[in-house]
Structures are given as C-alpha cells and as structure tokens.
Amino acid sequence: MGDKQGAIADYTSAIKINPNYAKAYNNRGNARRLLGDKQGAIADFNTALKINPNLAQAYGQRGIVRALTGDKQGGIADLQKAAELSQQQGNTELHQKVLEFIRKLQQ
C-alpha cells in the first residue's frame, strides 16, 4: 500500500508549511495507523479534529484505532459521530463504511 514512511515524511512537511492543515494530520494519522503506531495516529486524529471538528474521516479513523486499542465504546462513539457528519455532508460512501464498522463492533 505504498511507502507509508515516505507518506508520513511528506505529510509532516505539509504540516510544517501549514500547521492548520487538518487533512494532512488526518492522512498522517492514517499512515501511522497502518504502520502500527496507534498512539501517534490518535494524536494526529485529535489534532485534525481540533483544527476541523467537522472532519468525518478523522472521527472514523480515530474510532477504528480506539477500538483496536481496547476502547470499544470510545471507538463506537467516534464512528457514530463520523456517520452523523458524513451523512450531513452527503458522503454516502464514507457513511456506509462507517455504519459497517459500527455493526461489526456491536456484534
């Protein structure tokens, strides 16, 4: 799935140029998640959401990581927020993916 370390370096460079670039934090968090750096990922998702509290993707990604680290209820809460925002924003694809993750976690 590509050069995740390189992606992290690129997103870090983008953040240095624009520290308020929420999507760069979100994307770097996703790369960190894929490399197994769950705490680094959560920190990036938290920063992305601090900058843009309407970033549905960051809630969704953080929800997945929280669930993977044993915080199932926190993960579900984040995923529910992602579902709410993605529906409001008309992002049907993300909305469906998030609902599927919620169903899996509630089993």
- Predicted confidence at residue 52, as pLDDT, reads 98
Q: What is the pTM of this model?
A: 0.92
Domains of the chain: which residue ranges? 4-106
Average per-residue pLDDT in the chain?
A: 96
Domain at 4-106, CATH from 3.30.43.10, 1.10.600.10, 1.25.40.10, 1.10.286.10:
1.25.40.10
Rounded to whole angstroms, the Cα distance separating 62 from 48 reads: 10
Reading the chain (107 residues) residue by residue, the pLDDT tens digits are 478 899 999 999 999 999 999 999 999 999 999 999 999 999 999 999 999 999 999 999 999 999 999 999 999 999 999 999 999 999 999 999 999 999 999 98
